């Protein structure tokens, strides 16, 4: 078993590249199954493939097929302990664009549950979910703004100073859109319109905030009536183009695109009085809010490190546990063979006494070597100890026969 991670994220790739490798949950599951024993985690900030026993090159090639270009100088590759530590930090929200954001843990769970993971991936993802939950319950790293949606609202607040009375058009009525609406409304903004592919879904969200529901086709006609446009659909391409923006409108008109792939035509930024920000632009907001949560982040890193140590110990034990089991099986085999020679030569009571005594001797002889091997399992010497035991007792010869 070999744990490998190949991926790219907001740390190494711009949104223009990330959006080309982003796939929905069903697509991520198909991609993982096409590789073999794999889990694909694809969000607006990252697309990562965690695999067991699959060559790096094959995994990278799968990402490059999505990207339509070479990713050799961009994608990162991590193995074993480093890959596990990275996953634990991701699940804990420590590697997110907005550190501590709450959505990522659910996304990790969904990716894991979308496939039938093998023993190694099953173990490491279960650990990741456990540490992610611990970080959320034992630290306050998730305090506001703890999501891309809340950071987007904070950015709007920076631009306008005061959002009271500012009218918002929300494009996309999913979970991210709902969070964006809540955060904007909490800052005094008016959710004037909610546009969505399914009108009934738009009505449900618009009703909560006293706004009006629109279809996506009706969006352009309302742009002149709002100050802020926040878009977060799962559409495969732009839902709003520069040509849709009317000449007569409020100034400034502030656009926030928190979708990947992007919802808003990049040419909108060229229009007079229009300001367009995408998900990468939220990093400045994050940097300002992170300072107050630095102590909590340090505590979260400690929890992640503890889990990484547990994974390391478990992974190392895979080398020595089979050797311990083989040694005990070999010793028991020898004991039983010698006991068999006593058949007919001793009474039943004498045989039971001999069996008990030899069993105790065997256990006492193997106790200390077993302890030493388990202790060595958490160090770099674990595999060496296991190999030495196999060699000294001829266990590798048995495995071959």
Q: Give 171-213 as a DSSP string.
A: E--SHHHHHHHHHHHHTT-EEEEEEESSHHHHHHHHHHHT-EE
Strand order in the sheet with 3-9: 38-42, 46-52, 3-9, 76-79
Residue 125, exposed/middle/buried by CB under 10 A (0-12, 13-18, 19+)?
buried
Torsion of CA 33, 105, 18, 301, to 10 degrees: -120
Residue 204, exposed/middle/buried by CB under 10 A (0-12, 13-18, 19+)?
middle
User: Taking a C-beta distance cutoff of 8 angstroms, is the pair 277, 256 a contact?
Assistant: yes
Q: In the annotation, is 44 catalytic?
A: yes
Q: Give 38-51 as a DSSP string.
A: EEEEE-SSEEEEEE
How far apart, in whole angstroms, are the C-alpha atoms of residue 159 and residue 156?
5
E strands within 222-346? 228-231, 253-257, 274-278
First to last CA, the chain: 23
348: Cα within 13 Å, side-chain hemisphere: 0
Q: Is the peptide bond before 165 cis (omega within 30 degrees of 0)?
A: no
DSSP state of 95: T
Largest CA distance in the chain: 109
Write down the catalytic residue from 8, 21, 44, 239.
44
Catalytic amino acids?
A: 44
């Amino acid at each position: 078993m070999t744990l490998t991670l190949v991926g790219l994220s907001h740390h190494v790739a711009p949104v223009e590249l990330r959006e080309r490798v982003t796939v929905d949950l069903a697509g991520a599951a198909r991609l993982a199954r096409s590789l073999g024993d794999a889990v694909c985690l694809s969000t607006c900030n990252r697309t990562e493939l965690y695999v067991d026993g699959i060559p790096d090159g094959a995994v990278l090639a799968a990402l490059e097929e999505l990207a339509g270009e070479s990713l050799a100088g961009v994608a990162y590759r991590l193995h074993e302990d480093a890959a596990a530590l990275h996953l634990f930090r991701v699940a804990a929200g420590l590697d997110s664009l907005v550190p501590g954001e709450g959505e990522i843990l659910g996304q990790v769970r969904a990716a894991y549950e979308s496939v039938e993971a093998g023993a190694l991936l099953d173990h490491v993802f279960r650990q990741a979910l456990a540490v992610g939950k611990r970080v959320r319950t034992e630290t306050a790293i998730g305090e506001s703004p703890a999501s891309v949606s809340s950071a987007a609202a904070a950015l709007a607040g920076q631009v306008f100073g005061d959002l009271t009375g500012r009218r918002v058009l929300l494009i996309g009525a999913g979970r991210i859109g709902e969070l964006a609406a809540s955060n904007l409304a909490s800052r005094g903004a008016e959710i004037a319109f909610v546009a969505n592919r399914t009108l009934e879904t738009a009505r449900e969200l618009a009703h909560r905030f006293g706004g009006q529901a629109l279809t996506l086709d009706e969006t352009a006609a309302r742009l002149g009536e709002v100050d802020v446009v926040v878009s977060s659909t799962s559409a495969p391409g732009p839902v709003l183009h520069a040509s849709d923006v009317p000449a007569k409108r409020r100034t400034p008109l502030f656009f926030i695109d928190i979708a990947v792939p992007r919802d808003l035509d990049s040419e909108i930024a060229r229009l007079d009085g229009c300001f367009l920000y995408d998900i990468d632009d939220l990093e400045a907001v994050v940097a300002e809010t992170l300072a107050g949560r630095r102590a909590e982040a340090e505590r979260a890193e400690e929890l992640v490190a503890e889990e990484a140590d547990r994974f390391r110990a478990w992974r190392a034990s895979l080398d020595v546990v089979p050797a311990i089991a083989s040694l005990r099986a070999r010793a028991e085999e020898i004991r039983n063979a010698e006991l068999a020679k006593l058949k007919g030569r001793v009474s039943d009571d004498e045989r039971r006494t001999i069996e008990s005594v030899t069993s105790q001797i065997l256990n006492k002889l193997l106790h200390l070597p077993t302890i030493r091997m388990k202790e060595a399992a958490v160090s770099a010497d674990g595999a060496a100890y296991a190999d030495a035991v196999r060699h000294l007792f001829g266990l590798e010869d048995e495995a071959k026969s």
